[in-house]
C-alpha cells in the first residue's frame, strides 16, 4: 500500500510537470501565432496564466496534503490491525493449547486421597492439567497423604499456606472462623497460581469432591467460552438443583447459563482474579461471588448434570446441608466430549433471546400439576410474582428455595429451569425479568 501511494505521488508530480511544460510552450508560441495582439493583450494573457499557474500550484499542494494524510491513516490502520491481530493470536493460543492446572484446596482431611485418586485417574494429559495441591491447616497426616501423590509424579505438586495464625474475630463471629480461614487460604492459593506460577486460568477443586469421568473434557470444551463471551466469568461443574429427580438424565451434553455462582469445581481466569483479589472478602467468599456487584453482573456456565460430587459430610458447615441436599446429587457417568460440541447457543445474545421467547410462549402450569404429572404439555412455565411465591413453588417441586443477593439458585435472568417427571419446567417471573431484588431472602 505504501509503495502504491509513493508511485501515485510520483506520477502526480510528473503529470503536474508535464502540464507546466505544456502551458509554458503555449505561452511562448503566443506572440508568434498572434503577432497582431497588442502588448496589453499579451500582458493580460500573462496575468491570466500566472493566476492559473498559482491556482494549479495550490491545487497540487492540496492534493499532496491529502495524499500525506491518507498515507498516515493507512499506516495507522495497518498498526491497529496488527495489534488486534496480536490479541487474536494470543487468545487463539490460549484457547487451542491451554494449560489448565487443577488447584486442590486441602486442609486436615486425609480423605483428600479419594479426591486426588480420581483427579489422577481420569486425567487425559499431565502437561495440560498439572495438579497443584494447596494445603492449609498444617495437618501432618494429610500432608503425608498428599506427599504420596507428589513423590513420584512431577506433574503433581504441593504448596503450604504459610500463615497459620489465629484470625482475631469478635466473639459472635468466632464460631464462623472456619469461613475466615477458607477465604484466607483461597487468596493465598490463587495468588500462588496466578502471580507466582503465572498461569492463565485454573480449575478449582475442594478436597471433598469426586469428579466425573468427563470432568477434564468438560472444562477443555467450555474454556473457550470465557474468551468468546466476556459476559461469562466462570464455568462450574455443579448444578445446585442437580438431584436425580430434577434433571434430564438423557441430556448429559446440555449446559445452561446461570447468574448464581455454583462453585464446587470451577474455572477462573487470571484477569478475573486480578480484578477480584484487591477486594477479596475476609469470609464467605462464595456468597461474596454471588453478589453481582463483585462480578459486575456477569454469569457462569453450569451443566444439566453435575461433573462433581460432594462427599464432605464432615466440614465447616457441619453436614446439615449435606444430608438435605448434597447426598442425593447426581454425578454424570455418561461421558461427553465437549471439545467436539458446538456451544454457541450459550453466547449471551443468542441464549437470552432464545430463552425468553421460548419461556414466555409456553403454557402455564401450577407446581401441584407438575408434581402429580397431570399435564398435557411436555414443556411448561410455572409463574412466580414475589419471593414468597417463588419459595412456595420451589419447595413444592423440590428445588432449593434460598436466595443470595436476591438470586435464586441456578437462576438466569430470574428463570430457574428443571426437569420433573419427564417434563421441562421453567420457573419464571410473571413479568419479563429486569433485575434481582437483593431484599429477597432477607
Q: Dihedral of CA 114/120/121/124: which sign?
A: positive
Binding residues for ligand UD1, how many (CB under 6 A)? 24
Choice from 101, 263, 406, 429 touching ligand UD1 (CB under 6 A): 263
Strand arrangement of the beta sheet that strand 423-429 belongs to: 379-384, 423-429, 416-420
According to the binding rule CB under 6 A, does residue 267 interact with ligand UD1? Answer: no
**The one segment of 125-133, 221-229, 314-322, 390-398 that binds ligand UD1 by CB under 6 A:** 314-322
Residue 315: phi and psi, rounded to 5, are -155, -165
Cell 497443584 sits on residue = 132
Distances (CA, A) of 90 to 31, 84, 130, 387: 73, 10, 21, 45
When asked if residue 328 is in the footprint of ligand UD1 (CB under 6 A), the reply is: no
Residue 310 interacts with ligand UD1 (CB under 6 A): yes or no: yes
**Is residue 178 at the binding interface for Mn ion, with CB under 5 A as the rule?**
no
Would you give the binding string for ligand UD1 spanning residues 83-102, x where CB under 6 A is met? --------------------
The reply to whether 317 sits near ligand UD1 by the rule CB under 6 A is yes
Q: At closest approach, how far in Å is the CB of 208 from Mn ion?
A: 4
Contact 364, 382 (CB under 8 A): yes
- Residues of span 189-208 touching Mn ion by CB under 5 A: 208
Of residues 200, 203, 206, 410, which one binds ligand UD1 by CB under 6 A?
206
Q: Is 107 in the site for ligand UD1 (CB under 6 A)?
A: yes
Q: Which of 139, 150, 275, 286 binds ligand UD1 (CB under 6 A)?
A: 286
Of the candidates 186, 177, 187, 184, the one whose C-alpha atom is nearest the C-alpha of residue 206 is 186
* Minimal distance, residue 120 CB to Mn ion, in Å: 20
Closest CA relative to residue 180, chosen from 289, 317, 284: 284
What's the CA gap between 109 and 207, in Å, rounded? 8
> Do the bridges between strand 209-211 and strand 131-135 make them parallel or antiparallel, or are there none, so unpaired?
unpaired
Out of 108, 248, 286, 402, the active site residue is 286
Q: Is 130 in the site for Mn ion (CB under 5 A)?
A: no
The entry of ligand UD1, Mn ion, none that residue 106 binds, CB within 5 to 8 Å by partner kind: ligand UD1
> Is residue 291 close enough to count as binding ligand UD1 by CB under 6 A?
no
- Backbone torsions φ then ψ of 338, nearest 5 degrees: -65, -20
DSSP symbols for 8-62? HHHHHHHHHHHHHHHHHHHHHHHHHHTTTS-HHHHHHHHHHHHHHHHHHHHHHHH
305-364 residues in contact with Mn ion (CB under 5 A) are 312, 315
412 closest CA partner among 273, 241, 182, 193: 241
| All cell numbers assigned to 307 | 461433573
- Candidates 129, 143, 149, 179; binder of ligand UD1 (CB under 6 A) is 179
Q: Min. distance of Cβ 109 from Mn ion in angstroms? A: 9
Nearest-Å Rg of the Cα atoms of the chain is 34
Is 286 an annotated catalytic residue?
yes
> Hey, which residues are catalytic here?
286
Applying CB under 6 A, the residues found at the interface with ligand UD1 are 105-107, 136-137, 178-179, 181-182, 185, 206-208, 263-264, 284-286, 310, 312, 315-317, 326
Contacts with Mn ion by CB under 5 A lie at 208, 312, 315
Amino acid at each position: 500500500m505504501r509503495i502504491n501511494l509513493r508511485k501515485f505521488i510520483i506520477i502526480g508530480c510528473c503529470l503536474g510537470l508535464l502540464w507546466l511544460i505544456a502551458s509554458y510552450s503555449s505561452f511562448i508560441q503566443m506572440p508568434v501565432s498572434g503577432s497582431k495582439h497588442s502588448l496589453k493583450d499579451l500582458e493580460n494573457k500573462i496575468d491570466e496564466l500566472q493566476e492559473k499557474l498559482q491556482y494549479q500550484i495550490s491545487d497540487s499542494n492540496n492534493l499532496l496534503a491529502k495524499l500525506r494524510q491518507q498515507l498516515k491513516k493507512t499506516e495507522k490502520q495497518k498498526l491497529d490491525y496488527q495489534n488486534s491481530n496480536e490479541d487474536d493470536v494470543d487468545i487463539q493460543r490460549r484457547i487451542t493449547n491451554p494449560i489448565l492446572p487443577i488447584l486442590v484446596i486441602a486442609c486436615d482431611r486425609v480423605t483428600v486421597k479419594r479426591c486426588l485418586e480420581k483427579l489422577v485417574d481420569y486425567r487425559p494429559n499431565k502437561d495440560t492439567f498439572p495438579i497443584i495441591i494447596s494445603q492449609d491447616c498444617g495437618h501432618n497426616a494429610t500432608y503425608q497423604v498428599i506427599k504420596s501423590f507428589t513423590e513420584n509424579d512431577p506433574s503433581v505438586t504441593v504448596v503450604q499456606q504459610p500463615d497459620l495464625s489465629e484470625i482475631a474475630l469478635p466473639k459472635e463471629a468466632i464460631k464462623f472462623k472456619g469461613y475466615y480461614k477458607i477465604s484466607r487460604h483461597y487468596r493465598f492459593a490463587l495468588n500462588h497460581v496466578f502471580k507466582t506460577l503465572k498461569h492463565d486460568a485454573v480449575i478449582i477443586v475442594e478436597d471433598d469432591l469426586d469428579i466425573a469421568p468427563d470432568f477434564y473434557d468438560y472444562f477443555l470444551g467450555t474454556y473457550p467460552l470465557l474468551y468468546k463471551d466476556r459476559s461469562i466469568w466462570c464455568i462450574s461443574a455443579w448444578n445446585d438443583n442437580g438431584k436425580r429427580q430434577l434433571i434430564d438424565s438423557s441430556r448429559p451434553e446440555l449446559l445452561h447459563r446461570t447468574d448464581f455462582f455454583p462453585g464446587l469445581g470451577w474455572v477462573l481466569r487470571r484477569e478475573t482474579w486480578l480484578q477480584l483479589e484487591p477486594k477479596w472478602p475476609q469470609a464467605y467468599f462464595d456468597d461474596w461471588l454471588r453478589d453481582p456487584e463483585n462480578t459486575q453482573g456477569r454469569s457462569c456456565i453450569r451443566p444439566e448434570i453435575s461433573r462433581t460430587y460432594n462427599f464432605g459430610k464432615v466440614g465447616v458447615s457441619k453436614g446439615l446441608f449435606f444430608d438435605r441436599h448434597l447426598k442425593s446429587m447426581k454425578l454424570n457417568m455418561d461421558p461427553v466430549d465437549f471439545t467436539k460440541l458446538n456451544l454457541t447457543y450459550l453466547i449471551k445474545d443468542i441464549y437470552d433471546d432464545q430463552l425468553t421467547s421460548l419461556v414466555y410462549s409456553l403454557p402455564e402450569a401450577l407446581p401441584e400439576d407438575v408434581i402429580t404429572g397431570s399435564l398435557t404439555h411436555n414443556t411448561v412455565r410455572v409463574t412466580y410474582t414475589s419471593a414468597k411465591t417463588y419459595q412456595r413453588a420451589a419447595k413444592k417441586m423440590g428445588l432449593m428455595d434460598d436466595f443470595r443477593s436476591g438470586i435464586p439458585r441456578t437462576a438466569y435472568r430470574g428463570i430457574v429451569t428443571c426437569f420433573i417427571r419427564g417434563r421441562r419446567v421453567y420457573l419464571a417471573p410473571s413479568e419479563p425479568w429486569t433485575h434481582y431484588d437483593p431484599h429477597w431472602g432477607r
